[in-house]
Amino acid sequence: MATIIPCIIGFSYLVTHFSELYRSQVADNLESLSIQVENRIQSSFQQVKTDINLITVQSELQSTLQNYQIHRSPQDLALLQQIIQNVQESDKTISSVTIYDEADRGLVTTLPILPRINDKNTLRRAHYSLTIKDNTTLIVACKPLYLGDEYIGALKITAIPNFIDEINQSNEILGDTGEWILAIRNEENNAVFVTPTRYGTAGEYFHVVDSQATRVPITQALLSNETVLWDAVDYNGNSVVAATRHLSEYDIGIVAKIHSSEVFSEVNRVVAVFWWVLAGIMTLLLVIGSILAFVIVRPIEALTKSVVISKTQTTPDFNDQSIWYEINVLAREFTILQLHNTELKESLEDKIHQATKSLEETNTKLLIEKDNALAATEAKTIFLANMSHEVRTPLNSIYGALQIIERQRTSAKIQKLVTTANNSMRTLLRLVNDILDFSKIEDHALELEQVPINVYQIANELVSELGAFVQGKRLKITVDKTERYNEGWIGDPLRVRQVISNFLSNAIKFTNDGNVTVLLDCQVQNSQLCLVITVRDTGIGMSQEFINNLFKRFHQESVNTARKFGGTGLGMSINHALVKLMHGEIRVVSTLNEGTQVTTILPLPQVAPEKVAFSKTEKDSAPDLTGVHLLLAEDNEINQEIFCAMLEDTGAKVTLVNNGRDAVEEVKTSLNSNKHAIDMVFLDIYMPVMGGVQACCMIKKYFPKLPLVSITANVSPSDISYYKDEGFDHHISKPVEISTLYKLLNSLGRGYAGH
């Protein structure tokens, strides 16, 4: 019995362990398969998203829709009809296409009749869902259409999902009884199958399961309970093992299930084999045990003699009952050994306790240091935001005054001095921006914008702007592009401009005569088409040692270099961080006294060349704002004077207030009195009593169509996006450029009082 019982316990443990391993394997397989189906569904929806984006990007849909809304031309309406027919004919999975106008009315469609939309929010937000219509499973995709910031209508597409048939054909991987189920909710919140059922009515689609049937796996899936159910009952009353998943983005329930009898049949067979093997082993052990019983006594006797001899140095004399004596001796020695082990254990536990206590104290100190570091980082962020505001506020006054003086008719000597001061002011502003950008890069807080950009135009604009720094040098600056180069990139225009500007400024700074060239090219690298920007100069060149330290912070070749050419040593470090953030690389080749070539490779996404906006240089003459009433909320009196001086030639009436609360009251008084109502409001973001964002929200609440413009030193894409989300229609950065201000007022036309 002493032999049989441990064997039974051991085999029972093995059987239990094997069963758990098998359950775990079944669960992992079901979960893995359900994830594959989820990915297949996601891929199908992603294809629809890609198709709808291509429709709006590659066709004349948006411009034609806007032309029709302006002119109501039958030709434009026919062109819209032709566009959606071409879309449906080009992709057989698309069931219908409908275009809605800016008032959310059906305009053209491939359906027999134009559909109605009762909820406008349905069209004004992009959404994708799975639905059932006329006994057919469809993907419904809706995308609002914008030209600039103007909503011009919406595009709605219904497509036949390709994953339904693929899932039906993959039932075999779930075994003889396995089945896939996909379902969505109906209006009563019940589950509606969008795949045919394997059991019940043959080929039955759109089976409905009540939401109260919580043991049914599909109900669990739609409740977002993603797990493996071992005691579930399916829609036909079968006991099943099921893995459930929920696609929250589209509210689709996914179930992969197998009948319990099929899952556990293999386990039951293994258990039966185990018990037969166990019975055979037990029989064999009984036979062998009986034979070896006497053989075991002799080793015990020899072991006991060895123990006694080691303790007493005498030879023991065992009688016929010596076996019990031997066992007692062994038991006593094992007891002594156990006591010794207990002492060792207590000593070890004491040492572990002391070490644990020391680690806890160290961990507490580290947590305190971490909290202090986070607090310091937050304080640094607040400090930089305040510094940005405090530095740009006086810069706005100085730069604004210089721009106003520069536009006056003065002597050539004064005009040259003002132009020089303006160039110095721009240099100072770039320096401030570099310091703030560097801090954001260190804190991993710099965000990149993703919009279509025209790199060739950016390079030409920089050459024009930096031309002022070429005075006194025999230097020619050119922009060129290779024959294979084509526009069509998506990236952050500000950061691409910053990279080119820093490299170009360095080339001009260290080249007294010869040529500086900006060359645009493209090349394939790692199967990705990349933008290649090369800046070449014939300047003083660099040593290899300096090239190795080129992108280190605050590094310049020598003190004499810093004194002679100026600079902070931050530009190259910022360029290196920006290019790295865009997943690109920089290559530098230079020879002393011969020149330098810096090549920047950026793996930017591509866009159709016709979608890249080429901004035309607009005349920055003062617009005619006679009869227009503008309101400025600004707490700095000097900035108030500068703003009024900038608008003096426009003929506009300007009202000044010192904070957001006064701005709200002035707008209410002006618009409610019907006496020369305010046409546009300019709000500084940081003001006492009430800031610009809070004032914007209050004004938009009462006068939603009144144009509001934010004026602030915060110029990052995330800040500008935040202000627009809060209700601002436009944004002007400090220091204010007169040309930017005039461009904004000119772009708005004479529709100021349209609110």
Quick one: CA torsion of 641, 646, 650, 656, rounded to 10 degrees? -30
The whole-number pLDDT of residue 565 equals 45
Radius of gyration over alpha carbons of the chain, in Å? 39
For residue 735, is the peptide bond before it cis, meaning its omega torsion is within 30 degrees of 0?
yes
Mean pLDDT of the region 80-86: 87
Taking alpha carbons only, the member of 601, 608, 606, 613 closest to residue 490 is 606
The whole-number pLDDT of residue 189 equals 84
DSSP string, 334-363: HHHHHHHHHHHHHHHHHHHHHHHHHHHHHH
Both structure tokens of 401: 């005054």
Q: Taking 70 as the threshold, does the pLDDT of residue 110 lie above it?
A: yes
Q: Place 241 in a pLDDT band, splitting at 50, 70 and 90.
A: confident
Lowest mean pLDDT across 161-170, 350-359, 533-542, 607-616: 607-616
Q: Place 533 in a pLDDT band, splitting at 50, 70 and 90.
A: very high
> How many CA atoms are closer than 13 Å to the CA of 263, on its beta-carbon side?
26
Q: Cα–chain-centroid distance for residue 676?
A: 46
User: What does the alpha-carbon distance between residue 60 and residue 80 come to, in Å, rounded to a whole number?
Assistant: 9
The whole-number pLDDT of residue 753 equals 46
User: What does the alpha-carbon distance between residue 43 and residue 748 come to, in Å, rounded to a whole number?
Assistant: 42
User: What does the alpha-carbon distance between residue 155 and residue 141 come to, in Å, rounded to a whole number?
Assistant: 8
pLDDT in tens, 488-505: 899 988 889 889 988 998
Distance between start and end Cα atoms, the chain: 98
The whole-number pLDDT of residue 464 equals 82
Lowest mean pLDDT across 40-54, 70-84, 137-151, 595-609: 40-54
Give one word for 527, left, alpha or beta, with left for phi > 0 and alpha for psi -120 to 50.
left
User: What does the alpha-carbon distance between residue 413 and residue 211 come to, in Å, rounded to a whole number?
Assistant: 85
Tokens 């609110």 sit at which residue?
A: 755
User: What does the alpha-carbon distance between residue 519 and residue 534 come to, in Å, rounded to a whole number?
Assistant: 5
pLDDT in tens, 425-478: 666 666 666 666 656 666 666 778 888 999 999 999 888 877 767 777 888 899
Taking alpha carbons only, the member of 248, 196, 194 closest to residue 226 is 248
Both structure tokens of 243: 């893995």
User: What does the alpha-carbon distance between residue 249 and residue 47 come to, in Å, rounded to a whole number?
Assistant: 15
User: What does the alpha-carbon distance between residue 131 and residue 422 come to, in Å, rounded to a whole number?
Assistant: 62
DSSP string, 699-739: HHHH-TTS-EEEEES--SHHHHHHHHHHT-SEEEESSPPHH
Q: What is the 3-state secondary structure (H, E, C) of 517-558?
A: EEEEEEEEECCEEEEEEEEEECCCCCCHHHHHCCCCCCCCCC
- What is the enclosing helix (H) or strand (E) of 652? none
User: What does the alpha-carbon distance between residue 24 and residue 37 come to, in Å, rounded to a whole number?
Assistant: 20
Q: Taking 60 as the threshold, does the pLDDT of residue 84 lie above it?
A: yes
Q: Taking 60 as the threshold, does the pLDDT of residue 203 lie above it?
A: no
Q: Taking 60 as the threshold, does the pLDDT of residue 169 lie above it?
A: yes
- Sequence letter at residue 386: N
Q: Place 305 in a pLDDT band, splitting at 50, 70 and 90.
A: low
Strands 595-602 and 585-591, bridge-based pairing: antiparallel
Q: Are 678 and 631 in contact (CB under 8 A)?
A: yes
Both structure tokens of 630: 């503008």
Quick one: CA torsion of 438, 439, 440, 441, rounded to 10 degrees? 50
pLDDT in tens, 40-81: 788 888 878 887 887 887 677 888 888 888 888 888 888 888
Q: Taking 90 as the threshold, does the pLDDT of residue 600 lie above it?
A: yes
Q: Is the dihedral of CA 599, 601, 607, 613 positive or negative?
A: negative
Burial of 216 (0-12, 13-18, 19+ CB in 10 A): buried
Q: What is the 3-state secondary structure (H, E, C) of 581-646?
A: HCCCEEEEEEECCCEEEEEEEECCCECCHHHCCCCCCCCCCCCCCCCCEEEEECCCHHHHHHHHHH
DSSP code, position 135: T
User: What does the alpha-carbon distance between residue 479 and residue 458 come to, in Å, rounded to a whole number?
Assistant: 10
- Put simply, whether the predicted model's pTM sits higher than 0.75 gets the answer no
Tokens 């006086």 sit at which residue?
A: 394
Measured between alpha carbons, how far is residue 574 from residues 40, 407, 492, 517, 580 in Å?
A: 42, 34, 15, 22, 10
User: What does the alpha-carbon distance between residue 753 and residue 733 come to, in Å, rounded to a whole number?
Assistant: 24
Phi and psi at 206, nearest 5°, equal 60, 35
Helices (H), 243-321: 260-312
Q: Are 516 and 477 in contact (CB under 8 A)?
A: yes
Q: Taking 50 as the threshold, does the pLDDT of residue 564 lie above it?
A: no
Q: Are 454 and 612 in contact (CB under 8 A)?
A: yes
pLDDT in tens, 320-347: 455 556 666 666 776 787 787 888 888 8
Give one word for 727, left, alpha or beta, with left for phi > 0 and alpha for psi -120 to 50.
left
Q: Place 755 in a pLDDT band, splitting at 50, 70 and 90.
A: very low
User: What does the alpha-carbon distance between residue 530 and residue 602 come to, in Å, rounded to a whole number?
Assistant: 5
